[in-house]
Structures are given as structure tokens and as C-alpha cells.
Amino acid sequence: MQQKLIFTNQVGAAVDDLVESLGTPQVILLTDTETAEYALPLLLADSKAAAGARRIVIPSGDLHKNLDTLSKVWTELADAGATRSTVVINFGGGMVSDLGGLAASTFKRGLKCINVPTTLLAAVDASVGGKTAINFNGVKNQIGTFSEPVAAVISTLYLNTLPEQQILSGYAEMLKHGLLDDKDTFTQLLKYSPVYPQFDSERLLPLLESSVEVKRRIVNEDYTETGLRKALNLGHTAGHAFEALAMKRNSPVPHGYAVAWGLVVELILSHLKIGFSSDVLHSFAAYVLENYGAFAITCDDYSALIAYMRQDKKNTSADDINFTLLKAVGEPLTDNTATADEIGAALDIYRDLIHLA
Amino acid sequence: MQQKLIFTNQVGAAVDDLVESLGTPQVILLTDTETAEYALPLLLADSKAAAGARRIVIPSGDLHKNLDTLSKVWTELADAGATRSTVVINFGGGMVSDLGGLAASTFKRGLKCINVPTTLLAAVDASVGGKTAINFNGVKNQIGTFSEPVAAVISTLYLNTLPEQQILSGYAEMLKHGLLDDKDTFTQLLKYSPVYPQFDSERLLPLLESSVEVKRRIVNEDYTETGLRKALNLGHTAGHAFEALAMKRNSPVPHGYAVAWGLVVELILSHLKIGFSSDVLHSFAAYVLENYGAFAITCDDYSALIAYMRQDKKNTSADDINFTLLKAVGEPLTDNTATADEIGAALDIYRDLIHLA
């Protein structure tokens, strides 16, 4: 792990210091249309380097995270006369850092990057691990490189330029990291809500910092994704099933919301199978209900949900379904299996806890 | 330097051993139309892994080393269901290993590669250094990665499937490495001619091996291309000028031929300016004349040639021209400069040595 992680809400000063430490080279600012409209004015007012930078603006949204956009970014880098001493600032959500990181890591075999995530999900997730990517031929993230930015400047400064739903979606990943970390971190997260009236960028920043540190620790301990890194899948087996069911109902839900509900189901399984505390489960479910509402299911949905869970990449047998579960907060156990009956029992309790009985 | 370099004319056995050592995963063979016609039958007869591999055939030639071909290779890798345990065998010249290496290093963030160069230039040059690339927007090698194959299997087995001109072109880079290495290596190279009737794949192989080792040593000592690696530019300042002049005359010459003539000019400058041996210069010029013929110039071409040399990337001032020169065989001195008058004097001697007086 070579990259610097800088946690600060003085983003402009941090970016200017970084650019100066790199010998004040040519600076190119890559962003997307939405970020350019809402968050960019804040950065331009704060940072001389960003204000003086040549700008490349790509269309927003995962649909545009493709070869066509990548090729246009390469062309603009060429038009700008970018060289290996050029620094690209990727300013936006995960789509911008994924595509911008790939463009920079392949142009002339590698320009330098500084990532400035503007969404909570990008801050907590995309800024660690060095993965860059575009979608290709209908497959998400099929083309990419492992390439870390020189630094990521992580703040909570731009979050209130975004819909609250998007903040909550990122916060679900922080809740997951809290569950993987320790009881103190987790309790602090439950005491806070990242949206109005409680939203407070200064108070959120240290919570975000400890959350990124959890991911960094796990990724460093298991860079090749063989063991411990599977712990980061907590909540995602059931979460992906909720996401798929919502899609099939033609009313998609944000990824993080599905993860929040998936975490409830998997903590129930953790309680039933390996003794996770009932008290902690109840306070977590109450938090999720209050902040994320309820994802309504009946027993008629169980077989569809279980079929979706069976498609998870972690499964190695056709029968049981593989889960990462928790013995307690901070004690993940990977490679647990559950039968369809056990999952049905967990979904019964989920409906009870989330008041859908 | 992680990659294995295997020097052998038992290419099939070496490839099969490598594939087996990787756990006999899915094997994909990437080659171009010309190599598929002339050299591939030899490999298929020799290697079970290659014979059983799914094949991707791209159009030959530098014109096709572009994003369109890269995108087609990605699509074929996706159609083949390639995963990170897949091995791609790049079978061909530098164009195949450059483009195939880039495709493999970016598909799912990195498939494994084995390079099997079929040209002398690819064997001596492209197989060390880990550079992958495509041309983009009219600029050679503008998009690429640093990514080494698991191994390169280097042979002289396929050379006689190629035009003699192409072998001689690669041999010029070997002569350059010999000049940078030591007198013994260099003398051996001058005693041999890589074309009929002397061509002998077994005799050429150890010469090729020591030549690749010279490059490997220089690249390892100076991976970032700041100092010593400039020594690899020997012959190329004058060589590129000959190449450009030939292009302007609408009768292009192979790159290696231009390098051979360029080496003569730069050894003359080495003699004039830092005392390179006159005897060695004369035997080298005689070898070049016999094998590469003469590139005809008159004094009317001097100003055009000098103008081309001025465009060289090494130049930092507008006046003098930067050269890598030799004090003796094996003793390069980078960052020498020569004036237009000195270069004119060297070109006079070149015309004399190459019998154009």
C-alpha cells in the first residue's frame, strides 16, 4: 500500500500541497457532469491547482463507464499534451475514479493520480484497493488495472451536495465495517445518522476515517482475496438477493439499502447459528428500520430470494449457501453454510423485526 | 524482474512445461495472420498446449496495433470465458506481444502471459522490459502498461520462416548490444552472418542469449531510464535520421538497417571525439557494408540529416546534438554533444568507409 490517505475537510489546501510536493506539474481535473455542477464549484473556490487545471468532463452514470468514454479521455489527455509528470485529479464518485484511474494508468504507461471522492461510497470503498475499471460487453468492471493513486483526499465536504439516499447508501458500508471492527466503533455509528437534521460533516469525518482503516487493514492482510477479505462480503449475500428481487419488481433500491437489509438477515443467521448477541441484533435492526425503512417481503418471496442467494460467487456446492457470519462484533467467520430451511427461518425473524409480520 | 527467460529451440516442450507448472489452466493462443500462416504450424506440431488452445488471430502489421484490434481481443477473451487463471500465449513479433500483453494485463485486471517471440527483433528487444502498448491517435505506443509475462520462451526456431531482411534488421540490435557489452561478444557477432548460407538456428541461439542478457542487465540497472539506459540509444540518433530521410525519399528502409548505418556514423564520431579504435571501426563498417549494403547520401543530404538528428528526444539544447558514444567496446559514454560541423565530418568519413565517395 503506497498511496497516502489524507482525511481532511480542507480539501483545497490538501490538493494544492500534494500538487506542489509533486513539483507543480501539469494538472488535469477529471470529473463527471453531475459532480461538475454540484461539487466542483466548492473545489475550484478552495484549490489553486484545481482552478488552474485543464478540465475533462465525462457524462455521469454507470452506463457511461465504458470504452467509448475511456477512449475520449485518452484523446483529451493526448490533446492536453499529458506526459508522465502530469497529475490527474479524479474528482467524483467511484465511476470517475474507476474510469479516470484506468485512463491515467494506461496513458503513456502511467500518469500520476490524486483521487478526491465526492460520495460516501467512493470514499469508504473505492479509495482503497487500487482497482480501476470500465464495464465491457455488458460485464461490470471487466477491463481494468491494479493501480493506486499517489494519494486520496478523503472528506465529507461534498456529501450534502448529494441526495440523502446516496449518503445513506454509503453509510451502510460503514455499518458493515463497524460490525467487522469492534463494539466501540459500531456503537458510535449507531448513535449517529448521516442525514439531516443530524448531518455534520465534521462529526462524520472521524467515523469515515476509522471505517476506511477497517477496509485497509483487511485488504492489506489479504490482498489476494483468498480468506479474510471475504469478510467484506458480510451482508452482501442476502443484500444482493434483495437488490435482485427489487429489480425484478421494477422498483430498484440503492445498493447500500439492500446491504443494510441484508446485514439484518445475516446477523439473524449469525444469532441462530453461531450465537451472535440478540441485543445487538435488535438495536441494529431498529437502526436500519428507522433510517432505511422496510423492504417488504412475504413468505411467497422466500424461494426467489433463496434462488438469488444460490447464484453468489462464494458458493462451491449446489446445495447449501455460503455466508460470512459474525460470532460477535469484530469476530467474522467466513465460509459458513446455511440450508434453505435455516434461511427461511431467518427471513421469518427479519419480517418480525422489520415489522412486516 | 520476475519473468523467466528460457532460451531453447525445444519451444513446444518449454511451453508445455510452463503451462503444466501453472496448473494446466485454460490456454489461449494469440497470434497474427502472417505468423499463423508461416510459423504457427511448427508450434502446433510441437506443443500439446498450443495445439489444444483456443486461438485468437489478429491482422498483421503495425497499422492494426490499435484500439479496434485491442477491443476485438477483449471481446474474444470474454467469449472464451477467460478468467484470472487463464494463460495467454503471445506468439509472433513485437506487435503481437505488445498488443496481446496489453489485452491480457487489462482483462479482468490481469491474465497471465507467456511470450513466444518469432522474430529476432521481438526476441532481442520486446521480450525484456515489460512494456505493452497500442498506437493511439497517430502516436506510436501511446496507450500501454508495464506488465511482464510469466515467461518468455526465446528461440531462433522460427526465424527462417521470415524474410532475411527481417532477420538482419533484428541482428543490428544485437550488434548494438555487442558494442555495449565486450570485445569477445562483439567479435563473435562479426564472425557470423544471420542469413544464408551461414544461417544456423543452433549457432545463433547463444549469441541471442548473450544479447538479451546485455539488455536485461542495462534495464535492471536503470529501470527508470535516467542514465545508463540511454546507452541503448547507441546508433539510434543517426539511425533515426537515415530512417526519416529514406521515408522522405519514399523508399523506406527497415529500422534495423538504419540502426546499422547509424552505428557506423556514431562509431566514427566516437573515434573523432573520444578515441574509439580505428581498427574496430573499420571492421564494423566492412561488416555493415557486406550485410546491409550502403545507404547512399551526398553532401547535399547533410543539412536534412542534421535537422532530423536535432529532433531526437535526448536533446536538451537547441544548438548541439546529444549522442551516446563509445570510448571502446563495452564503454559507453552517454550525453556527449556534437556540433553540425563535427557531424558533417563524420558523414564524410561514413561515405568514404561505405564506398560512396
* 3-class secondary structure, B31: strand
What is the percent of chain B where pLDDT is above 70? 95
The pLDDT of residue A99: 97
Which chain A residue's Cα is nearest to B147? A109
| pTM, two decimal places | 0.88
Q: What is the ipTM of this complex?
A: 0.85
Per-residue confidence (pLDDT) for residue A335, from 0 to 100: 86
Chain A residues with CB-CB distance to B101 below 8 A: none
Q: What is the pLDDT of residue A224?
A: 54
pLDDT > 90 fraction of chain B, expressed in percent and rounded:
77
A313 vs B: CB within 8 A: no
d(CA B171, CA A223): 43
CA distance between the termini of chain B: 47
User: How does pLDDT run across A152-198, given as a tens digit for each residue?
Assistant: 999 999 998 888 999 999 999 999 999 999 999 999 999 998 887 77
pLDDT in tens, A50-80: 999 999 999 999 899 999 999 999 999 999 9
Q: Could you tell me if A114 lies within 8 Å of chain B, comparing CB atoms? A: no
CB atoms B146 and A109 under 8 Å: yes
Do the chains contact at A74 and B110, CB–CB below 8 Å? no
pLDDT category, A49, cuts 50, 70, 90? Answer: very high
Spatial distance between the Cα atoms of B280 and B293, rounded to a whole number of angstroms: 18
Q: Where are any strands of DSSP class E within chain B?
A: 4-7, 27-32, 54-58, 87-92, 112-117, 134-136, 139-143, 151-154, 321-328, 331-338
CB distance B106 to A143 below 8 Å: yes
Asked if A296 has any chain B CB less than 8 Å from its own CB, the reply is no
Res. B353: pLDDT tops 90: yes
Instruction: List CB contacts (< 8 A) between A131 and chain B.
Output: 109
Query: Which pLDDT score is estimated for A88?
Result: 98
Cβ-based contacts of B78 with chain A (< 8 Å): 136-137, 139, 142
Alpha carbon of B141: minimum distance to chain A alpha carbons (Å) = 7
Q: pLDDT band at B320, cuts 50/70/90?
A: confident
Show residues of chain A in contact with B145, CB under 8 Å. Answer: 105-106, 109-110, 145
* A139: contact with B, CB 8 A cutoff: yes
CB pair distance less than 8 Å for A109 and B78: no
Q: Quote the distance between the C-alpha of residue B84 and its chain's center.
A: 29
- The chain-wide mean pLDDT, for chain B, equals 92
Whether the link from the prior residue into B149 is cis, omega within 30° of 0, is no
Residue B295: φ, ψ to 5°: -95, 115
* Residue B38 at interface with chain A, using a CB cutoff of 8 Å: no
Minimal Cβ distance to B106: which of A109, A139, A143: A143
A300-312 pLDDT tens trace = 999 999 999 987 7
pLDDT for B313:
66
Interface contact B133-A78, CB threshold 8 A: no
* CA distance to partner chain A, nearest, from residue B227 (Å): 17
Question: For B158-174, what is the mean pLDDT?
Answer: 92
Report CB contact under 8 Å: A143, B107.
yes
Given an 8 Å threshold on Cβ–Cβ distance, is B105 in contact with A142? no
**Cβ of residue B85 closer than 8 Å to a chain A Cβ:** no
Residue of B nearest to A79 (CA): B137
pLDDT at B213 over 70: yes
Q: What is the 3-state secondary structure (H, E, C) of chain A?
A: CCCEEEECCCHHHHHHHHHHHCCCCCEEEEEEHHHHHHCHHHHHHHCHHHHCCEEEEECCCHHHCCHHHHHHHHHHHHHCCCCCCCEEEEEECHHHHHHHHHHHHHECCCCEEEEEECCHHHHHHHCCCCECCEEECCEEEEECCECCCCEEEECCCCHHHCCHHHHHHHHHHHHHHHHHHCHHHHHHHHCCCCCCCCCCHHHHHHHHHHHHHHHHHHHHHCCCCCCHHHHHHCCHHHHHHHHHHHHHCCCCCCHHHHHHHHHHHHHHHHHHHHCCCHHHHHHHHHHHHHHHCCCCCCHHHHHHHHHHHHCCCCCCCCCCEEEEEEEECCEEEEEEEECHHHHHHHHHHHHHHCCCC
Shortest distance between the Cα of A94 and any Cα of chain B, in A, equals 17
Q: Which residues of B touch A142 (CB under 8 A)?
A: 74, 78, 107-108
Contact (Cβ atoms closer than 8 angstroms) between residue B235 and residue B257: no
CA distance B107 to chain A (A): 5
Q: State whether A137 and B106 contact (CB < 8 Å).
A: no
pLDDT value at residue B161: 87
Inter-chain residue contact B109 with A133, CB threshold 8 Å: yes
Tell me whether residues A143 and B75 touch, CB distance under 8 A: no
Write out pLDDT tens, residues B242-258.
Answer: 999 999 999 999 999 99
Interchain contact B80–A (C-beta under 8 A): no
Supply the pLDDT for residue B319. Answer: 72
Residue A315 has pLDDT above 70, yes or no: no
Amino acid at A194: P
Residues B49-96 have pLDDT tens digits of: 999 999 999 999 989 999 999 999 999 999 999 988 899 999 999 999
- Answer yes or no: do A107 and B139 touch at CB < 8 A: no
Which pLDDT belongs to residue B130? Answer: 86
Q: Given A71, A131, A137, which is nearest B109 (Cβ)?
A: A131
Q: Phi and psi of B353, rounded to 5°?
A: -70, -35
CB atoms within 10 A of CB A225: 11
- Judging contacts by C-beta atoms under 8 Å, the chain A residues touching residue B131 are 109
Residue B223 scores a pLDDT above 60: no
Q: Is B107 on the interface with A (CB under 8 A)?
A: yes
What pLDDT shows up at residue B317? 62
Distances in whole angstroms, Cα of residue B237 to Cα of each of A75, A202, B232:
29, 58, 11
Chain B residues whose beta carbon lies within 8 Å of the beta carbon of residue A75: 137
pLDDT at A201: 85
Mean pLDDT, rounded, of chain A: 92
Interface test with A, best of B68, B72, B84, B109 (most A CBs within 10 A): B109
Mutate to test the interface with B, among A71, A98, A109, A136 (most CBs of B within 10 A): A109
- A225 pLDDT band, cuts 50/70/90, is low
Beta carbons of A281 and A187 less than 8 angstroms apart: no
Angle B196-B200-B201 (CA atoms, 0-180°, nearest 5)? 125
